[in-house]
Amino acid sequence: MNWPHWLIVPVVLPLLVGATLLLVERSRPALAARLSLVATAAQLLVAISLAAQAADGTVRAYLLGNWRAPFGIALALDRLSALLLVLTGVIALAAVAYAVAGDAKSRIDRLGPHFHALFQFQLMGLSGAFLTADLFNLFVFFEVLLIASYGLLLHGGGVARLRAAIHYVSFNLVGSALFLIAVAALYGITGTLNMADLAQRVAQLSPESVSLARSAGLLLLVVFCVKAALLPLYFWLPATYGAAAAPVAALFAIMTKVGVYAVARMYTLVFGADSGPLANLAAPWLPVLGLGTIALASAGALAARTLRSMVGYLVIASAGTLLLALGLGSRETTAAALFYLVNSTLVVAVLYLLAERIGAQRGAQGDALAPGPFGDERPILGAAYFAAAIAVCGLPPLAGFLGKALLLAAALDTAYAAWVWSIVLASGLAIIIGLVRAGSRIFWKPFEPAAPTTAVATSSVQAMALGWLCGALLLTTAAAGPLARYTGAAAQQLFERRAYIDAVLGATPVPAALPIRQLIGGKPGEGKL
């Protein structure tokens, strides 16, 4: 367990597996599917072991190429990164299992080429974004996960996906351009890209650079909110996620959380409470925009005409709730946000997979919120929908309720308390009404004859994938105490930024396992700073 390179494994493993998959995918498709499944399971195991390491509260840093920070690129692992890595692994395993389920005709990974390779590259981008401690490297991992997501979104083809892809790709390309402008401006002022070093230098800026740094910081906020889907930057999301194949949409549920993660990281570490003139840069914006997002998303959920677009609005509502909680800026609200994040991400992934199953059972009617014939899996899918609906709108007894309750309790001490209580509760009611209406139209008003001839039965692997995610949801409920303690400690760690800075800047290069420089005739110690 003391092997120093564990930290890079979540990035390197999917990279190598993805590259291998590109080679074997065409010639040995069955082997490729198995390899992808095994690699994703291994990714989850690595993430769990990293979380076990991070649980002791120390921040671990890893120096790429043995270059000392801030000169090289550093990775850093703390509780928050580890939590998100595990969450990614749990959802990715269900998504890849769902994609390989069924017979040769209905398998989602056979709808087009390169599903598994793109899936692994997306995992690489996600893990890298959660681990990196370098701003430019964060941009690169954002691009890796976005490029893979463009391919995954288009997987299966069709006009709807092409239309969604044009909007999604152009929107994210503009986002990337803004990201680069912000990064370049910050580098121009501070001369560093390492987030820990940046945190120190932003706090000591000369007065004439402060306004430029403020614009760069707020520009970064715009970029992260594009990814996280915050008002007014969320309009791409329902169509995009609704058009994607179900396991892809389930994986995309974690992609919006990359934006949330980046906000949590940057606006506590670099623009946090101790950042001098730029302290709490995002605090005036996030709560207001978060509340607006929640209000409009619940209206969208009420107006949605298909189950998938309704789930899209639920993703937006959860992103709004998370950014609202982060924007309130106390340890308690951040802890509540992280607890809610786990739950809402899992349940959204469940709902996307369920929507696909419901669509497959209803033939031509698909997942439209209108009465229609239903296959013979109506009772079990209805029960699963009912449970997921309870979890997503935050009703007891599932842990979604605890997340919202923690948030509301933590928001009591802030200036926005009245707004948070009224809007979060009212939008919760609107979402319940939307879910109830959708459920009764789909499950309670079937036409005669009962079963459409085109109903596709749920295969055992698909049921296992759904069961795995539902089990994870139940686990977060059963183990809500330990999870809340963990997220509380993760929030605590985010606010004690000194430890992160010291860990990253104080990391010492590890001795090389193979003294390559000596072997090729260089002097020992050469190239070390």
Partner 1 sequence: MTVEVLLAGGLGVLASAGVWLLLRARVFDVILGLTLLSYAVNLFIFAAGRVRVGSPPIIDGRLAPTLEHYADPLPQALVLTAIVISFAMTALILVIALRANAETGSDHVDGAEPTGPADAGRER
Tell me the C-alpha distance between 194 and 198, whole Å. Answer: 6
Stretch that binds partner 1, among 135-143, 283-291, 477-485, 491-499 (CB under 8 A): 135-143
Please give the full DSSP string across 196-241, using - where no structure is assigned.
HHHHHHHHT--HHHHHHHHHHHHHHHHHHHHHHT-TTS-TTHHHHH
- Interface residues for partner 1 in 148-167 (CB under 8 A)? 150, 154, 159, 162-163, 165-167
Select the residue interacting with partner 1 from 63, 73, 185, 490 (CB under 8 A): 185
Angle value at C-alpha 18, between 15 and 21, nearest 5 degrees = 150
Select the residue interacting with partner 1 from 12, 31, 177, 450 (CB under 8 A): 177
Long-range contacts of the stretch 403-406 (C-beta < 8 A, 24+):
403/336, 403/339, 403/340, 403/343, 403/344, 404/321, 404/340, 404/428, 406/332, 406/335, 406/336, 406/339, 406/340, 406/484
**38 binding partner 1? (CB under 8 A):** no
**187 binding partner 1? (CB under 8 A):** yes
Distance, CA of 13 to chain centre:
19
Q: Kindly tell me the sign of the dihedral angle through the C-alpha atoms of 96, 322, 314, 135.
A: negative
183 and 159 in contact (C-beta within 8 Å)? no
Residues in the chain: 529
**143 binding partner 1? (CB under 8 A):** yes
Q: Which is nearer to partner 1, 147 or 463 (CB)?
A: 147
Select the residue interacting with partner 1 from 37, 147, 405, 417 (CB under 8 A): 147
Structure tokens at 77: 């692992």
**173 binding partner 1? (CB under 8 A):** yes
Select the residue interacting with partner 1 from 30, 52, 57, 188 (CB under 8 A): 188
**380 binding partner 1? (CB under 8 A):** no
Q: Total residues at the site for partner 1 (CB under 8 A)? A: 27
**77 binding partner 1? (CB under 8 A):** no
- Interface residues for partner 1 in 51-70 (CB under 8 A)? none
DSSP 277: G
Q: Which is nearer to partner 1, 126 or 470 (CB)?
A: 126
Least Cβ distance, residue 53 to partner 1 (angstroms): 31
Mask for 193-232, x = binds partner 1 (CB under 8 A): x---------------------------------------
Stretch that binds partner 1, among 55-63, 122-130, 136-144, 295-303 (CB under 8 A): 136-144
H-helix or E-strand spanning residue 74 = strand 74-77
Least Cβ distance, residue 184 to partner 1 (angstroms): 4
- Placement of tokens 């963990």 in the chain: 486
**184 binding partner 1? (CB under 8 A):** yes
Least Cβ distance, residue 225 to partner 1 (angstroms): 18
Structure tokens at 187: 């580098």
Say how many CA atoms lie within 13 Å of 153 toward its Cβ.
Answer: 28
Q: Which is nearer to partner 1, 68 or 167 (CB)?
A: 167
Q: Which is nearer to partner 1, 166 or 450 (CB)?
A: 166
Least Cβ distance, residue 218 to partner 1 (angstroms): 17
**496 binding partner 1? (CB under 8 A):** no
Least Cβ distance, residue 446 to partner 1 (angstroms): 33
Least Cβ distance, residue 180 to partner 1 (angstroms): 5
**19 binding partner 1? (CB under 8 A):** no
Please list, in sequence order, all residues whose beta carbon lies within 8 angstroms of the beta carbon of residue 125, skipping any fewer than 6 positions away: 141, 142, 143, 144, 145, 146, 147, 148
Select the residue interacting with partner 1 from 44, 169, 230, 348 (CB under 8 A): 169
Distance, CA of 94 to chain centre:
15
Pick the closest to residue 377 from 474, 470, 460, 468 (CA basis).
460
- Tell how strand 74-77 and strand 60-63 pair up: antiparallel
Least Cβ distance, residue 241 to partner 1 (angstroms): 17
Pick the closest to residue 217 from 254, 265, 258, 249 (CA basis).
265
Please give the residue ranges that form the binding site for partner 1 (CB under 8 A): 136, 140, 143, 147, 150, 154, 159, 162-163, 165-167, 169-170, 173-174, 176-177, 180-181, 183-185, 187-188, 191, 193
